[in-house]
Amino acid sequence: MATMRTEGGSSAGDGYGHGRQTVDDAIEIGAGTHIQTKWLIDGNKTKKDQNDILVQGGCISISWEWVDGWAAVANIGGVPSLCISMNFVLVWVSLRRCGFRQQQLKQKRKKGGRFAVHMAKLPNSIGRSAPRSNEGMRLIFSAVVGVMLGYLFGVSFPTVNITKLHFPSSIISYIEDRNSGITTQTLLNHAWASANRHKKNNSDSSAEKIPKIYVPTNPKGAERLPPGIVVSETDLYPRRLWGDPSEDLNSEPRYLVTFTVGISQKANIDAAVKKFSDKFTIMLFHYDGRTTEWDEFEWSKRAIHISVRKQTKWWYAKRFLHPDVVARYDYIFIWDEDLGVEHFNAEAYIGLVRKHGLDISQPGLQPDKGLTWQMTKRRGDQEVHKVTEERPGWCTDPHLPPCAAFVEIMATVFSRDAWRCVWHMIQNDLVHGWGLDFALRKCVEPAHEKIGVVDAQWIVHQAVPSLGNQGNAENGKAPWEGVRARCRKEWEIFQTRLADAEKAYYISQGITPPNSTLV
Q: 371 in a domain, yes or no?
A: yes
Determine how β-strand 360-365 pairs with β-strand 2-7: unpaired
Are 363 and 349 in contact by the 8 Å Cβ rule? The answer is: yes
What is the chain's length?
519
CATH number at residue 307: 3.90.550.10
Domains of the chain: total: 1
Q: 76 in a domain, yes or no?
A: no
Q: Cα separation of 482 and 465, whole Å?
A: 13
Q: 205 in a domain, yes or no?
A: no
Q: 56 in a domain, yes or no?
A: no
* Predicted confidence pLDDT, tens digits, the chain (519 residues): 443 433 343 333 333 334 444 444 444 433 333 334 443 333 433 333 333 333 333 334 344 443 333 333 343 344 444 444 444 444 444 444 444 444 454 455 444 444 333 333 334 444 444 444 566 777 777 777 777 776 676 656 544 443 444 444 444 444 444 445 555 566 556 656 666 676 666 655 655 688 999 999 999 999 999 999 999 999 999 999 999 999 999 999 999 999 999 999 999 999 999 999 999 999 999 999 999 999 999 999 999 999 999 999 999 999 999 999 999 999 999 999 999 999 999 999 999 999 999 999 999 999 876 678 999 999 989 999 999 988 888 888 999 999 999 999 999 999 999 999 999 999 999 999 999 999 999 999 999 999 999 999 999 998 887 777 777 878 888 888 889 999 999 999 999 999 999 999 999 999 998 875 555
Closest of 267, 273, 327, 328 to residue 293, by C-alpha: 267
Q: 278 in a domain, yes or no?
A: yes
Are 469 and 480 in contact by the 8 Å Cβ rule? The answer is: yes
Q: Cα separation of 89 and 91, whole Å?
A: 6
Q: 483 in a domain, yes or no?
A: no
Q: 287 in a domain, yes or no?
A: yes
Residue 87, Cβ density class (10 Å: 0-12 exposed, 13-18 middle, ≥19 buried): buried
Q: 433 in a domain, yes or no?
A: yes
Domain of 343, in residue numbers? 250-465
